Amino acid sequence: MKNYTDAKAVFAALGIDSDKAIKKALAVPLSIHCWQGDDVTGFENLGQGAPGGGLAVTGNHPGKARNPEELRNDIAMALDLMPGINRVSLHACYAEFAGSKVDRDAITVRHFQNWIDWAKQHNIGLDFNPTFFAHAKAADGCPLTSVKKGIRDFWIEHGKRTREIASAMGRQLDTSVLNNFWTPDGSKDTPADRLGPRKRLAESLDRIFAKPVNPKYTVESVESKLFGVGCESYTAGSNEFYMGYAVTRQKFICLDTGHFHPTEVVSDKLSAVAPFVPGIALHLSRGVRWDSDHVTALSDETVAIAQELVWNGLLPKTRIGLDYFDASINRIAAWAIGARNVRKSLLMAFLTPAALLRKAEQSQNLAERLALQEDFRLLPFGAVWHALCDRADAPQDIHWLKEIAQYAATVLSKRT
């Protein structure tokens, strides 16, 4: 406690109430992606593995969840390590069919009722995603841009079904479910026609979104990508395409930190797009060379994103989620590391004396601004973070690894 008392005094001298900062940082909901726990396999065809559709999961760490019960237990374990309000994000491929065969154009909310009941039990919200990959009708990598109308119709119906499911989830849980649309449509080699697929993509999406939804229970976002495995040369749903679509159709725009060129930063895009869309969804991951899906780190960019959201008052119109899948390390630890880093970045944003930085900037004292930016890096954030963990009844840094090790020894080690 002495460390926190000393840190509290440091921040108070700069005009920051650290107790209020802790309370605010804990209140920001984070959406935890279910697919980290089973390497994006889903439950449609248990045991068949690889997701495809521009995605690849590397590593073979023992303890992968093999069925819905194991996955939900693993998520619950991970949530205990994550201070603050958390939600869980599901993909449509995590439906449960109780032994029957149901294709994606016929799924209903009953196939996710176990998830809804589990969410009620744990007092958490859910978010949802259609799954436009890992399916025979997506073998060419172009579900919504296919030249075959029958293929497009199948996936359009799937998209409509997910909207109905998301709305039903929201009504049952009395929360607003984010229904996020990402599709892998693209080309491995240089296409001769770039415009045609984008016209078909816009038409497909318009058909999916034709019927209005109640925003009390569902908000909808569209997500761009730079490229994926098998669509290295062309992606129909690029940043420019979805930026235009989100603005003209007034959808949330989803920005994934791993879906841009290595020199681009999402933090700079937030204030640029915010005035023109009803909301922003974030998928926080860590791009490394070509692979977009590494565990979120407490990097300068993660901190900068949090600062943009907090300092510009964008949190009320932003939905923050995680999206990575690393099978080379303990999967539950991967969840905890990423979520804790995002929560740390939010706390740091609330604790940074932004008013002093902006005062120096507005007075054109740019040397002072730079000096303060650098000096603020050494503020005692860690002591406040430890106090946050204590207040949220979550383990502090390093100590949570003991809980991971115990769970691995008693639960994960028994899976083959």
Burial of 43 (0-12, 13-18, 19+ CB in 10 A): middle
What are the structure tokens assigned to 400, written together? 């949570």
Mean pLDDT of 41-67: 77
Tokens of 293: 């899906």
Residues in the chain: 416
Q: Where are the alpha helices (DSSP H) in 211-318?
A: 239-249, 267-273, 300-311
For the segment 255-297, what is each residue's pLDDT rounded down to a tens digit? 999 999 988 999 999 999 999 999 999 999 998 887 778 999 9
Q: What percent of the chain has pLDDT over 70?
A: 97
What pLDDT, on the 0 to 100 scale, is given for residue 47? 45
Active site residues: 182, 223, 225, 256, 259, 283, 291, 293, 323
218 within 8 A of 179, measured Cβ to Cβ: yes
- Residue ranges of domains in the chain: 17-351+395-414
- What pLDDT does residue 46 have? 53
Are 86 and 124 spatial neighbours (Cβ–Cβ below 8 Å)? yes
Cα 414–chain centre separation: 30
**Which of 316, 313, 389, 349 has the alpha carbon at shortest distance from 21?**
349
Is pTM, for the whole model, over 0.85? yes
pLDDT of 56 reads 76
Q: Which residues contact 109 (CB under 8 A, 6 or more apart)?
A: 116, 164, 165, 168, 169
- Provide the pLDDT for residue 59: 85
pLDDT in tens, 135-172: 999 988 999 999 999 999 999 999 999 999 999 999 99
Res. 55: pLDDT tops 90: no
Q: What is the mean pLDDT of the chain?
A: 95
pLDDT of 231 higher than 90: no
First to last CA, the chain: 44
**CATH class for the domain made up of 17-351+395-414:** alpha beta
Place of tokens 């940082």: 25
- Overall average pLDDT of the 79-102 stretch: 96
